[in-house]
Every structure is written in C-alpha cells, then in structure tokens.
Structure 1
Amino acid sequence: MTTQLTFVAPRRAKPPRHLADLSMAERRAAIAELGEKPFRADQLSRHYFAKLTGSVADMTDLPAGSRERLAAELLPDLLTPVREIACDDGATRKTLWRLFDGALVESVLMRYPDRVTMCVSSQAGCGMNCPFCATGQAGLTRNLSTAEIVEQVVAGARALNSGQVPGGGVGAKGAGRVGGQGGNRVSNIVFMGMGEPLANYKAVINAVHRLVDPAPEGLGISARHVTVSTVGLVPAIEKLANEGLPVTLAVSLHAPDDELRDTLVPINTRWKVSEVLGAAWNYAATTGRRVSIEYALIRDINDQEWRADLLGRLLKGKLAHVNLIPLNPTPGSKWTASRPKDERAFVHRLESHGVPVTVRDTRGREIDGACGQLAAAPDR
C-alpha cells in the first residue's frame, strides 16, 4: 500500500510585515495607509534593494520625521545573527540566524573568482526526512516568509559591501552590488539550504520575484542564475513550469530505482522516480531550461556501476545534467562518501550514455555548511 505523506508546517505567529513581502503596488498602498505619499514606497524600495542601506538614518531623502515610523512598519528586523563561521580563507561564510520567534536557520555565502553564490533556506528544518541529511533529520519547525528568505540574500550583499568577505570590500569594482557576473556581487542564488522549497511554494515564488525583478521592485538577479531544488513534489514542479520564471530546476534524485529511493528519499513512496522525472522533462520542455539532477554518492549504497547505467538510460537524450555530490559527513550518520575509484567509475558510466556530469565542489564541508549538513544547531 502506498503511504500518503502530508507535510504541513505548524501554525505559528506570522513574522512582522516587511517591504520584501509586498509587491510594489502593495508597498505603495501600505505607505498610503501610513499617511505618506505613495512615491515614498519607491524611495524605500530603492534603499533596500538597490543601495542595500542598512540604517534608517542613512535614508536622507526621506523626511526625518517619517523615517523611524516607515522603518518600523516596513523594515523590521527579521534575522538576528547568532554565529558566523568561515573557511576557504574567508571566501565561504556560513551564518546561523535566529528568527523573530526563536526558530533557527542557516545560509551560506560562497565567493568564487567569477561569481558569488548564496545558498538560502526556505524553511526552518525540513519535513522530508531523508536519512542522510542533517536538516531532514531535524524535522520541520515552520515555513519561512518571503522576506525572511530575501533577507538572507540582502545580508550577504551587505557583507560583501562592508568588506567582511575577502574581495567584496567597498573599494572593489562592483562591490556589494547584486545581479550580473563577477566575484564581487551576489550573482547566483540556490535554494539548497534548509527545507524543501516547493513545500513552501507561495513564499518561495514570491521570493524569486523579489530576487529577479529589477530595482527598485527587487534585486535584479538574473532568473537564469537562480536554482530551485526539490526532492520531487510533482504537482509543485508542474505548477512551477507554468510560472514564467526561467529558473533552473534541481531534482534531488539520489537513486534511479524506486526500491532504494523509497529509503533515501521517503517522498518517493508518494511520487515514484518515473513521475518525478516525467515532471522534470515537462519542466524542461516548457521552459527550455536544462534540469539539474542532484545525486549524493553514498559508499556501497547508491554508487554501483549498474545504478549509473540505469541512471544513464533514464537521462539519455534528455535536457539534463547530473550533479554528483560526494556525501558530506553528518553527526551520527552510518553512511559516508564513495571511494574515489567508485566515483570515477560512476562518472565514466554516465558519460558512456552521453549524459553530461560534474562532481560538485564540496565548499563549506569544514564548517558544516556543505550540502546536507545544515542543521542550525547553536552548538555546532
């Protein structure tokens, strides 16, 4: 009998309303309700999304008598840093955030020579229960709001702007800017932090709009540089295909056969491999965007050559790319990364089917900031 899995975030008080929760029309209406002229919404939005202004005192084009009130109503503090740790000579930076209700989430900023990628969380915890993932083992606390997601990116951009991340200082060309290419601006967003993004569909889609809409509506990051991951929520994938947002879809597959995937990715008991891949191919056909197939290589579990052949046959001729992820260690896990020779053999078998494949750079492993390691534990 197929198990029906339903994931509902516990009911909690909502985060305070924030500018990033609202469309531009909604911001103007909110400003008008506060007795201010609607064009103040454009000014406030430009400070937040374009100038990355962090202090209301610096918003000098707003009336002095209105600044504090506008900030209190539309720019409340949503994220409080609890701990920041870095590796790679400071180029990889993980931040533990405390939300308004005490919930904890993590985000990771990774600066490369040609880009800056932000890995953001969409939920506090995760309800998918994948046994090799620290976040999945923590369980679901709640969904994040649109603004709580966007704030992670804005915080990263401000960190670059203030010189906290090597290469992102005020004197650097393009420092602190968002969008575009270059190693001094936030250019890429991956929804691969804590949570299952498509289980928090509305907030994530609204957040994507804030990320990609041009300033002052949003941050102006290219939609093609935004990746939304999922373990395979088929109805949500089909819905995403019709949003008109050319983001990259990443499917966390981890096994090509239902027998193993039922264990590694429990949602597979609801939507099987064939259904998940069918929705992915429909997404590719609708958007013209190549699908990323995420596959964590686990020693003696899913790294056999026959599984590589099965995966290759499933993906051959499809608009897809395989992203192999050496399993990152998590506390108490009985599993570990594949042997180098088995990893090489897996890559070779996929390539023999004409399937493009890369092995992911395990950025952040030393600070528990790599794929599958985010647990938002205050003592880690």
Structure 2
Amino acid sequence: MDNILDLSLEELKQWMKDNGESEFRAKQVFHWIYKNNQWDFEKMDNLPKGTKEKLIKCFEIDIPQIIEVYKSENDDTHKFLYEYKDGNIIETVVMKYKHGNSICVSTQVGCRMGCKFCASTVEGMVRNLSSGEIIAQILKAQEKIGERISNIVLMGSGEPLDNYENVIKFLSLVNAEYCLNIGQRHITLSTCGIVPKIKELADKDYQITLAISLHAANDELRKTMMPIANKYSINEIIEACKYYISKTNRRITFEYALVKDVNDSAQSAEELVKLLKGILCHVNLIPVNKVRENNFEKSPTNNIKNFSNILIKKGIETTIRREMGSDINAACGQLRRSYLKSKNYLRGV
C-alpha cells in the first residue's frame, strides 16, 4: 500500500482522474492532512463515501509513532524517537526559538558515511527514508508541540545527498503551498561532501542553505575523521561549493566540529582561513559531542574562543553553535543508539 505523503498534488490529481474521481478532491485530501492534521480518511467529512473507500484501499497516511519524548531542562529543546510501521526507529529534534520553531529531521535510518564524531553511523545504514516519511516527522512534531514548524534542518541521522531523489522530492513538497509551505530560505541541508550531488543540487537553483560538514582544512586530517575524504578531496569540495554559489548566489555554511588536540589549534584556524578566504561563506564552530565509540573530547572553551577569534579577525564570518539539548543527547544518533541498546536490538549486545 502506497504512502499518500509521497505524492505531489499533481500526482494525486492524476490518481483521482484515473480512478473516476474529480481532480479537486486531491486538494481537499491534502488540506485535511497538512492543514488540519487529520490522518484518517474516514474523518475527512467533505469527501464522498466512495472516494474514501478508494483512498483507504489504495493508500495509507504513514505517520510514525512517538515511542520516547525527551525535554531538555536547560533549554526549550524536544527530542522525539519515532517508530515507523516496519519497526525502524529514527530521531527528530525540535528547537524552540523566539523567532520560530526549528526542526532537525533525519533522512535515513542510520548512515553509511562513517564520520568518527557521529553516533548515527556506528551501526551503518539500514535504509533510506522516503520523501513522505521525512515530511511525517514534521507533521508529528507539530501535533506534539501544538505549534507550527517554520525552519527545517536536514542534519539528523543520514546523509541527505546519499538519499538524493527522496530528499529533492521532500524539498519540493514541503515548500508547496498545499503542503507545509515552508520557504526554501528557511531550509538548511547539511552534507559531508558528495561532490557530484552538490553540483546537481546547484543546478536545481534552490534557495536553500547548503552546509558542508568540513571539520578539517587539509585532506590528511580530514581522512582520519571522515571516510568520505578518501573519495573527494577538500579542493574538489571547495570547487563544488564555488559552483553552488555561482548558480544560486547563496552563502555556504561550513561546519567545523572542534575536537580537543585534533583540529582546534591556532595553526588549524589559520589553515582554515587560508582555505576559505574570498568565498561567500560562514563558519559554524561546533563543540564536538562525546560518542562512546571514539576518543574525541570537546575542545576547551578557551580553544574554541581563540579559534573563533582568529577566523573573525581574518574576515571569516564565524559563530559558535549553541549547545542545545546536551542533557538529552540531542546530537545525531545518540538517543536512537541508546534506545536500541536498551532493548537489546544492537549487534553484540
């Protein structure tokens, strides 16, 4: 049975036409789902009984179940563990700000990129999420918090550009007026640097923010942290970023997780300045999260400030990411992994 959330309005209109229904019924159905949070065809009161019966026979509205909710005591951050109908578990984080609510969504169950500082990848990738399954994370979160989500970050479990087709469709759907109508400039996509897909994304001419998970300014160091560096060099990534900027005129964000005694020295900062000088960009410094499976430690506060100051003095716009939800393991993959381990789902447990 197909998930109706995977369909665009035009696709559902075509289905209606093919099944002897009026095309305008498609917009009615989506209004119920996306505007009224109604996920039961039977309760869509303005649809004829025959239409409902056809929808029930052919489609489901695949909204995951919330199995755990964590609320930070330090800030207004919520983390949800979702379970899909096939039993797979993913996590989603909602961060509430004065300017609106942001959500960090997952694009895959697990991840195969192998980044050393990320818990999502420890057990590898299970499967891709469909466009509708990504949207469903937002729908369920909005229902739970009782407020609208206005900003999206594709920075949860999974590598978005490794699930390219589904993510592209998600971006199209979530931006549509009939769906959640979230503007592209309110969406950030984070990638570890799959160069061909960065270029494909650039050719779409979307107005989303592209964030590059960089974490080192030279290939030798980056290879020790991110296996993808063995396939695509930093120079190739930078060239792809320049192409993205030329096509979209959008500023790139470079994410840099600061690890004690690994990449947090003044020399590393100077190297990063040299790499990024002249590029339309912004650097987001991230105090690394502790992952049990590696020996990485968060850089000391003084090192973080010194690193930031070097970049700023050399003209690189820089911010230090606020550590939201640190008391609830809000970083990628941590809660999912803890939950699965507690249920003896992981290998070797």
Compared with structure 1, are the counterparts of its residues 196 and 311 closer, same or farther at alpha carbon in structure 2 (3 Å cutoff)?
A: same
Aligned counterpart in structure 2 of residue 266 of structure 1, from 213, 218, 227: 227
Equivalent pairs: percent with the same residue? 37
Compared with structure 1, are the counterparts of its residues 276 and 373 closer, same or farther at alpha carbon in structure 2 (3 Å cutoff)?
A: farther
Conserved? CA contact 1:363–1:370, under 8 Å: no
| Superposed displacement of residue 50, structure 1 | 2.3
| Superposed displacement of residue 145, structure 1 | 0.7
Q: Tell me the equivalent position of 1:226.
A: 187
After alignment, is 345-354 or 249-258 more displaced?
A: 345-354
Q: Tell me the equivalent position of 2:164.
A: 201
Counterpart amino acid of residue 288 in structure 2 = L
SS at match of 2:92: strand
TM-score if structure 1 supplies the norm length? 0.85
Aligned counterpart in structure 1 of residue 323 of structure 2, from 347, 353, 362: 362
CA deviations 1:247-304 (Å, max 9, x no partner) are 1000000100100101111111110011111111211121011101001000001101
Question: How many residues are matched?
Answer: 341
Q: Tell me the equivalent position of 1:99.
A: 84
Q: Spell out structure 1 runs of 4+ moving beyond 4 A.
A: none
Compared with structure 1, are the counterparts of its residues 350 and 72 closer, same or farther at alpha carbon in structure 2 (3 Å cutoff)?
A: farther
CA deviations 1:303-352 (Å, max 9, x no partner) are 01111001011112211000000011222431111011111110011112
| Superposed displacement of residue 20, structure 1 | 2.3
Q: Which structure's residues are more often helix, by fraction?
A: 2
Aligned counterpart in structure 1 of residue 261 of structure 2, from 273, 297, 300: 300
1:130 aligns with 2:93: no
1:144 aligns with 2:105: no
| Superposed displacement of residue 111, structure 1 | 0.9
SS at match of 1:93: strand
Conserved? CA contact 1:19–1:45, under 8 Å: no
Compared with structure 1, are the counterparts of its residues 68 and 81 closer, same or farther at alpha carbon in structure 2 (3 Å cutoff)?
A: farther
1:236 aligns with 2:236: no
| Superposed displacement of residue 374, structure 1 | 5.3
SS at match of 1:294: strand
Q: Tell me the equivalent position of 1:246.
A: 207
| Superposed displacement of residue 31, structure 1 | 2.5
| Superposed displacement of residue 376, structure 1 | 4.5
Q: Tell me the equivalent position of 2:149.
A: 186
SS at match of 1:268: helix
Counterpart amino acid of residue 232 in structure 2 = W
Q: Tell me the equivalent position of 1:61.
A: 46
Structure 2 distance, partners of 1:126, 1:298, is 21
SS at match of 2:216: coil
Counterpart amino acid of residue 37 in structure 1 = S
Compared with structure 1, are the counterparts of its residues 189 and 253 closer, same or farther at alpha carbon in structure 2 (3 Å cutoff)?
A: same
SS at match of 1:313: helix
| Superposed displacement of residue 78, structure 1 | 4.2
1:50 aligns with 2:35: yes
| Superposed displacement of residue 71, structure 1 | 4.5
Q: Tell me the equivalent position of 1:22.
A: 7
Structure 2 distance, partners of 1:371, 1:362, is 13
| Superposed displacement of residue 39, structure 1 | 1.5
Q: Tell me the equivalent position of 1:329.
A: 290
CA deviations 1:213-263 (Å, max 9, x no partner) are 11x2x2110100101110000000000001121110000001001001011
SS at match of 1:138: coil
Conserved? CA contact 1:211–1:221, under 8 Å: yes
SS at match of 2:37: coil
TM-score if structure 2 supplies the norm length? 0.92
